Amino acid sequence: MNDALQQGVVLETRRFRAALFDLDGVITQTARVHAAAWKCLFDDFLRERATCQGTAFEPFDPVADYQRYVDGKPRYDGVRCFLAARGIELPFGRADEAPGSGTICSLGNRKDALFNQQLTRDGVATYTSSVGLVRSLRAAGLGTAVVSASRNCPSILQAAGIEELFDVRIDGVSAARLGLRGKPAPDTFLEASRQLDSDPSSAVVFEDAAAGVEAGRRGGFGCVVGVNRAGDPARLYENGADVVVADLSDITLR
């Protein structure tokens, strides 16, 4: 399996009409905020469950568990996937439930509350090289879209001051409204490509999550660039990345 990071990757802009970017971990440094919120949520839940059942407490791993079960997925899917990995079943519940621990939705809503608390406290940092690449691609005539599972995408873009960089936004809210499946299904990327009037083969996808690069591969996109924020390039290649870079500063346009 290929596990080598690539440097000096050249993108021929004439090959592409559109560039589709994941948000957390690609454009903004909010992936670490998400991971911290997930750990707080699941550790509290697992600790309480272990105490009630008289079993050992096994904490949520903010690297391995985050990457494998929740990264890049819609919030409720992430809750379900992680709990299933621990052999735990909960009723789905309702999306409008108050944050709690009795259902998948209530857990997901608590995670959202924790994320927003940390976002308010710490703010939003961007990856300078990523923002620069978006600007360069726009200057080269490509349409740009942000494609995120997060329902907080608009507020994150606004807090970072980069809303104007994207012609199209497909996020957790619009995906639910349009009935689109979350990553690793390709639906959200395909919808962004459609709205940019681009065939998937003429669009390039930038993703840091395994679920996201798999969505790019399954959608038949012209190029899927994996951004190795988690230190596991082999996982990105395995799930469908054509190239894997440490940072988008390794991308050169021609």
User: How far is C-alpha 94 from the geometric centre of its chain's CA atoms?
Assistant: 23
Please say if 232 is a catalytic residue. no
C-beta of residue 205 within 8 angstroms of C-beta of residue 26: no
The one catalytic residue in 22, 71, 242, 250 is 22
* Cα–Cα distance, 99 to 106 (Å, whole number): 5
Please say if 24 is a catalytic residue. yes
Ranges of H-type helices in 86-207: 104-122, 128-139, 153-160, 172-178, 187-195
* Cα–Cα distance, 68 to 235 (Å, whole number): 10
Pairing of strands 18-21, 143-147: parallel
The one catalytic residue in 24, 77, 112, 242 is 24
* Cα–Cα distance, 213 to 88 (Å, whole number): 28
Give 31-36's long-range contacts (Cβ < 8 A, gap of 24+). 31/71, 31/208, 31/229, 33/115, 33/118, 33/119, 33/122, 34/66, 34/70, 34/71, 34/115, 35/62, 35/63, 35/66, 36/62, 36/118
Q: Residue 79: phi, psi to the nearest 5?
A: -60, -50
**CA–CA distances in Å: residue 220 to residues 122, 162, 199, 223:** 37, 28, 9, 9
Active site residues: 22, 24
